[in-house]
Amino acid sequence: MQRIRLRYTKRGRLRFTSHRDFQRAFERALRRAEVPMAYSAGFTPHPKVSYANAAPTGTGSEAEYLEIALTEKRDPAQLRALLDESLPDGLDITEAVEARTSGLADRLQASVWELRLDGVEAAQAEAAVKAFLEAETVEVGRLTKNGMRTFDARGAVAALQALDSRADRPGAGPCAILRLVVRHATPAVRPDDVLSGLRAVADLVPPVPAAVTRLAQGPFDEESGTVTDPLAPDREAAASSTQEDAEPTAAAAQS
């Protein structure tokens, strides 16, 4: 059995696709591309697909991940192209690697988010960010299926900064951009929770809903405060395996 890990996006209008809708679209793409999927056992077999930390409905993403299990070996690059052609524009498969290490889900330790706040001045956003970061805790509430839950939105935030978008939007109205790095914790702190926190500490209320996009997710480097590539260990293992295979061939040619 071969395992392939895929990175995919949610762009444009398809940011409003729910995770269940994506699952249905992806399984149709698997059938169209005639991927030799492995199936679960039991009365209702399902293709073996493992989804990891999907973005909330309504948010865009450049870094969603999943893993599939195949009954026959396939070239990851060709598989990526076939699946990408079988999905609608906006749901794009951007990378495929053979899984050569364990624990992909465990590597998704943090996310980098971009929040575009139309109608908000950069100075106003900077003041709100300063108040948020200076607070020891920022309690916010979220409605769950078990009722309203209150939790700290500050502790999971590793970095938060405000940028001004006027440089890339000449002539447009004010639009502050927040760049957020949040650790994946329990309970999960989402971008809308941070926005609720900014409202609580600084009364920051954008006049229109924020446009939210996940830019990256993966291992979190505490020293540098950066989020790194979760597929890097698989690529490194593949490169090492290729080099090891090539060495005996080179030795045989020389003899």
Could you tell me the two tokens for 245? 């295979």
Query: What pLDDT does residue 184 have?
Result: 96
Residue 7: other Cβ atoms inside 10 A: 21
Query: What pLDDT does residue 143 have?
Result: 82
| CA angle 115–157–20, rounded 5-degree value | 60
Query: What pLDDT does residue 167 have?
Result: 54
> Which residue stretches of the chain have pLDDT < 50?
none
Burial of 37-57, coded b for 16+ CB within 10 Å and e otherwise, reads: bbeeeeeeeebbbeebbbbee
At 94-112, the pLDDT tens digits run: 999 999 999 999 999 999 9
Query: What pLDDT does residue 145 have?
Result: 80
Query: What pLDDT does residue 238 have?
Result: 87
Query: What pLDDT does residue 187 have?
Result: 87
Query: What pLDDT does residue 26 have?
Result: 96
